[in-house]
Amino acid sequence: IALTTGWFDTNRSLAVSLVSAGMGVAPMTISPFARWLISAYDWRTAMFDIGITAWVLLLPAVLLVRQPPKPVMADTGSAPVAEGAGLTVGKALRSPQFIVLGLTFFACCAAHSGPIFHMVSYAMLCGVAPMAAVSIYSVEGLAGLGGRLFYGVLADRLGVKPVLIAGLAIQAIVIAAYLSISRLEQFYMLAVIFGATYGGVMPLYAVLAREYFGQRILGTVFGAATMLSSLGMALGPLAGGMVFDAYANYSWLFIGSALIGLGAVGIAIAFPPLPRRELQPA
């Protein structure tokens, strides 16, 4: 993802969204495959087979990755000035821009990870058959493909920040809406909106990081932001499991996730101005 931002100066959001579309393909293909493996064998065999498959696909693909081209020298013959030149990693990680970016990324993932992880169990509690419940996750993945393209195009036309804020708001509303449904067709309807939204906003964080910090230290900065998002991804499912163990239902999971989602909106609104005025030294 970080490399992709360096290859494109125009339509950057769309390019990053297209590259990240693979994350939308995975739920459509791996979820039914995992369900079949667990039913036919056991969860250990399923995890082992999926892990080996990931190795077989990923390791050769890594060999195809190429570094982006260096900036072209200007017509004046002077050397190009790199974006974020003079900005150290330490200074970037302590900047208000990174703090807001990291907290938004964390809250966004903390909000949607619990509902994603527990969606199949929640649907089964509502009376949906197991295989049909798994298909809800596949619908989310398919919707995520379209959402990545849609939000990528919007971000290129309207700007990354307003599109991200709108997406986070929609995500919070949809999470709350899960409290009022129980039928399979209702799950499918919300899965389309939910999958398109969380799938669409996720690539935008890389584009924001590129705009704030430039390409030179993007790998480190975006890696640090992704680490915070991973903590959020871990928090949601854990909290959902604890809530279910305590109350034997998922209502508080969806209420809490929706509130965290609204918190992500509030944090995103506080994004400081773009870095070329504030982060780069005079």
- The secondary structure of 16-40, three-state, reads HHHHCCHHHHHHHHHHHHHHHHHHH
Which one-letter amino acid corresponds to residue 243? V
Helix residue spans in the chain (DSSP H): 2-7, 12-19, 22-40, 43-62, 89-94, 96-125, 130-158, 160-177, 184-201, 204-213, 218-247, 251-269, 275-278
C-alpha 82/C-alpha 214 separation (Å) is: 8
| 68 vs 40 pLDDT, higher one | 40
- Higher pLDDT: 46 or 72? It is 46
Alpha-carbon distance of 206 to 163, in angstroms, equals: 14
Q: So what's the pLDDT on residue 82? A: 47
Q: How confident is the model at residue 282 (pLDDT cuts 50, 70, 90)?
A: very low
User: Average pLDDT in the 119-142 region?
Assistant: 90
pLDDT on residue 190: 95
Instruction: Identify the residue with better confidence: 135 or 69.
Output: 135
Residue 87 Rama label (left phi>0; alpha psi -120 to 50; beta): beta
Q: Which residue has the higher pLDDT, 265 or 156?
A: 265
pLDDT value of position 86: 60
Q: What is the mean pLDDT of residues 193-217?
A: 87
Number of Cβ within 10 Å of residue 231's Cβ equals 14
Radius of gyration of the chain (CA): 20
The mean pLDDT value of the chain amounts to: 84
Give the count of alpha carbons within 13 A of 69, CB side only.
Answer: 7
Residue 279, pLDDT > 50, answer: no
Higher pLDDT, 25 or 196: 196
Q: How many CB atoms lie within 10 A of CB 100?
A: 18
Distance (Å, rounded) from C-alpha 126 to C-alpha 133?
Answer: 10
Residue 76's φ and ψ, nearest 5 degrees, are -70, -10
Which ranges constitute the DSSP H helices of 70-95? Answer: 89-94
- Quick one: pLDDT at residue 280? 43
Taking the C-alpha atoms of residue 147 and residue 199, their distance in angstroms, rounded to an integer, is 6
Neighbours of 36 (CB within 10 A): 13
Pick from 26-35, 86-95, 179-188: least confident: 26-35
CB 191 within 8 A of CB 136: yes
Percent of the chain with pLDDT over 90: 42
Q: What type of residue sits at position 6?
A: G
DSSP state of 180: G
- Sorted by sequence, the CB contacts under 8 Å of residue 86 that are 6+ apart come out as 280, 281
Mean pLDDT in residue range 51-58: 88
| Cα separation, 63 vs 22, whole angstroms | 17
Report residue 252's pLDDT band, with 50, 70 and 90 as the boundaries.
Answer: very high
Domains annotated for the chain, with CATH where assigned, are 2-55+91-273 (1.20.1250.20)
> What's the length of the chain?
282
